[in-house]
Amino acid sequence: LKALAAYGGLELTAPEFEYGKDNKTPEFLAKFPLGKIPAFEGADGFQLFELIAIARYIASQSPQADLILGSDIVTKAQVDQWISFAQKEILAPLINIHQLCRGIIKPYYKPLHTQQAEAQFRALDVLEKHLVAHTFLVGERITLADIILAGAISFAVQVTLDPPARAKYPSVIRHFETVIRQSQFAPIFGEPKYADKPLAYTPTKTK
């Protein structure tokens, strides 16, 4: 969201926040009853939850809204398509894999880990084929879809995309690095952290 605001020339401030504590206060829950983040409150008191709704609202406030969200019904639909793809086909399996390996989802279940990894790689196959012939997901400029995808891939390169996997998807990595190295994004994304090997589950040792 910070990257999106920066790209659109908007100011977005994030207060000091400790997840697990501040999201459980009566004040926070009065505004956002599920107690989840991200959560957005505008200067006028307007409130939103859910990442894509917040991202779309922020993008709509930019002078470049037509470029970021799509300039006509066709490009708007294409942007929405790739946003949904990034969220459901890449980020969702990644989150499940991360939570399995970190013991957040218990008990660890290897077949589920394998199935989620295979689902993510099928999606990356589709993405690689598209990006071989396209610099960006939609049109010739960065859109909200590219920013959302870059966020998902920044997680993937730390969890599942080890050197052999990255070599298999050169266009995906090229797109990722192109987006995050835009002058507006570089201070926010920073240098990417590339995993040497995929995240794996390590059983807890008992005495």
Q: Which of 154, 112, 39 is nearest to 104 (CA)?
A: 112
| Domain 69-189: which CATH number of 1.20.1050.10, 3.40.190.10, 1.10.10.370, 3.10.20.740 | 1.20.1050.10
Q: Residue 164: its pLDDT value, please?
A: 96
Which percentage of the chain shows pLDDT scores above 90?
Answer: 66
pTM score of the predicted model: 0.86
pLDDT of 19 over the 90 cut: no
Residue with the bigger pLDDT between 137 and 191: it is 137
Nearest to 177 by CA among 201, 156, 159, 150: 150
Q: Each residue of 65-99: pLDDT tens digit?
A: 888 899 999 999 999 999 999 999 999 999 999 99
- Classify domain 2-63 by CATH number: 3.40.30.10
By residue count, the chain amounts to 207
With residues binned 3-state (H G I as helix, E B as strand, rest as coil), the percentages for the chain, rounded to 5, are 55, 5, 40
- Which residue, among 4, 46, 24, has the nearest Cα to 182 in the 3D structure? 4
Residue spans per domain, the chain: 2-63, 69-189
Interval 54-72: pLDDT, tens = 888 888 888 788 888 999 9
Secondary structure letter of residue 25 according to DSSP? S
d(CA 74, CA 166) in angstroms, rounded, equals: 31
Residue 49, strand partner residues = 39
Q: What pLDDT does residue 200 have?
A: 95
- Percent of the chain at pLDDT > 70 equals 96
Q: Of 2-6, 33-37, 109-113, 183-187, which gets the smallest average pLDDT?
A: 2-6
Is residue 206 pLDDT above 60, yes or no? no
Amino acid letter, residue 8: G
Q: Give residue-wise pLDDT tens across range 36-56.
A: 888 999 888 899 998 889 888
What is the rounded CA–CA span in Å between residue 81 and residue 75? 10
